[in-house]
Copies of this chain bind each other. A is one copy, B any other.
Amino acid sequence: MSDESINKNFHLKKREEISLEKYVTGILSGDVSLLSAAITLIESANPKHRKLAEQIIEECLPHSGKSIRVGITGVPGVGKSTFIESFGTFLTTQKRKVAVLAIDPSSQKSGGSILGDKTRMEDLSTNKNAYVRPSPAKGSLGGVARKTRETIILCEAAGYDTVLIETVGVGQSEITVKGMVDFFLLLMLAGAGDELQGIKRGIMEMADAVVITKADGENINNSKRAKTEYKNALHLFPASESNWIPSVSTCSAYDNVGINDVWNTIQSYKNQTTINGYFEHKRKSQSKYWMYETINEELKKTFFNHPEISREIKIIEQKVTEGSLSPFKAAHLLLEKSLKHEFN
């Protein structure tokens, strides 16, 4: 056992010894160490920690929900950290308390790329009105999603009124984040072409706002042109259920220009959707969605971890892709194996 892991175990042991009450009153009073300790319990694989975490969450739940939750995505290189650093710092000057979380399923392999290194956001990390928490590095996307969603609850209970959730613009994690935020922000680079290829189809239509970053120096005209193009393009697309028309703007974290516009846009969105009832409606749908999603995930896990299924599934899948067995017949063969009692 390495020094580091001995050290970590020691800390986790200590965390268990703190009482539920101490955690909850600590979090509600905005104590950052207790908040961090509780999030570590959420992320722990130890069932005792999970149980304590669950109790903390249920106690904090009535005190949560009062923040605006903003998802931020964009391909690597778009300048997400720099944007969040500027945007978050700006928000603290507006008397907001900002929590920055991340969802990065790729960190399962790399050991945490997004926010893995807090030094990427030096100012925010040391700002007393901001709380920066790296992505939980382990587990499936579903697991990471649950942990992040539970972390939002604790951050809100601790008084953070703006929660920024960072993710990478390359796939399924966007849809996951979209399902837990009020507002979804897509960062893009002017000049399109190759940079664009990294963003998965469908992500663009999920955005409540597109912000073209690095609109400074020689890039200003390019960025303005890109803004017009995206504005025209987005106008062709159908309105979202919220009746909100996605905005397109440019910004430069370097020149500190356009950052406040993003915040104005988010506030307009919040006002408009609060008045038309969509804000509350979406929050409720999201909660329901996560309940059903968790059930579905657990059902699948139980089924596919069944010894007979995990033994046979690859052979049957092979027959299906070869075309020698129909997908439906294959499904029923597998279901019959594991669920005889329920299906007869």
Contact = CB atoms under 8 A, between A and B. Distances in A.
User: DSSP class of A's interface residues: helix, strand, loop or mixed?
Assistant: helix
Interface bracket on A: 35 or more
A326 to B, nearest CB: 6
Interface string A225-258: 0000110110011111000000000000000000
Interface stretch (A93-101, A130-138, A288-296): A288-296
Contact of A197 (B238, B330, B334): B238
A342 interface: yes
A331 interface: yes
Interface string A321-343: 10111111111101100010011
Contacts of A343: 302
Contact of A300 (B65, B296, B327, B342): B296
Contact of A323 (B61, B200, B206): B61
Contact of A342 (B229, B296, B302): B302
Nearest to A304: B295
Contact of A321 (B146, B153, B288, B321): B288
B61 A324 contact: yes
Contact of A320 (B202, B287, B302, B326): B287
6 contacts: A57-B326, A62-B324, A196-B236, A205-B205, A233-B236, A299-B300
